[in-house]
A and B are shown apart, each in its own frame.
Chain A
């Protein structure tokens, strides 16, 4: 299968401190990959690098024939201005940006799609509500609906099931399986190991650097998890420049 994503010895971080250190590997097209690791392992940072918000400190991330703007990204919700006067319907509607652009009219077809997306996440009836009135879980479902509308080949979900009750989780998981069936590539950062073992065939265990990457059963072993836990979360203020970069890369 063709590679959808390629990590070429990539290091991502802030202020020269690496949050993701020397990651190498490939994500096949159509893969369903879970990314797990302790807090501060670099999962969100990696996603920001994939969608193009963060530039790598070293190495590169290749997205195949995909334009970086063809990726659907569901971040953790912090950056959204909830006091902005926009309705759920209009907010979710922005997911159709790639097809409507600046001026496209929101014809009947578009409006139907939006209504359908809202129904798939269980938010029918919420069309006219201002986004500021939604609960955390409803917000998350709204963002899922937007991802649905984006119709992207690569979908990147950052802790998508935080603050969601079990029933909604199950509904949203069904959507994830649907995407996988539609041969889209899905990456999700998750904390719930049970969920990962049950749904995701492939896992990357990340603790700043890659600890293990492969079939879920082989990755989520006790020793791997122990090693990951030993990762130091804080940046070392007195660290020297990374020496590994001077050695010719071992990954051929």
Chain B
């Protein structure tokens, strides 16, 4: 009888410990590095995040590998940007056959339009980033109710940081003289930044890095730079910079540095997190435009 009781207790202990051990982290897949950063900040220790388009990658023209299908199949949650950014994603999700819930982080944002299409770069405005974070928090809570408190707390902290960032950006822009608030960059990635903070962005390539430029576009930009005396042009980390350098040489505008638009950099780069990215961008802009 003694033996049997001991075994019973042992069994109970084991079975009660099992759920605790089986409580693995929540598998989340984010489509690209910026979303991955948000998820990590909100999810904290409770989530294991994999990103499909990693640092310095171009999410517009990404071609997925079979390993990506596997990542999606293993995931509980797939966080995407939506607004037409990840053209390659729907088929990947279909073929991976996983049962993950898709979350569109940009839900609730009023998108800007370029022509008849939506501009997908909504995260460039910090106010929109707050909405992204809120959407991600809500999705995490729905997928893993046990961690709801932790997620809400993490999100609170991060949102506070974003508020501080937003103030920083506005102060920095205020230091740039009104007449100089114009920038040339490689593709139309900064529409939301422009409308939120009042700096005008002009780009030869359109909304996606997939498109090609015509001579007319280049001529227009050169004429505009000369006419408006725009002081600097900016490179991007994901595009061939020769076109920008040509414009710079021909107009006399300086190359003001590299802006990060669609992708974070690696750990050692200048923009390993979203907040670092926005800080880097605004610093580059102000230093080029304020002298």
Q: Do any beta carbons of A and B sit within 8 angstroms of each other in the complex? A: no
Using a CB–CB cutoff of 8 Å, the interface residues on chain B facing chain A are: none
Using a CB–CB cutoff of 8 Å, the interface residues on chain A facing chain B are: none
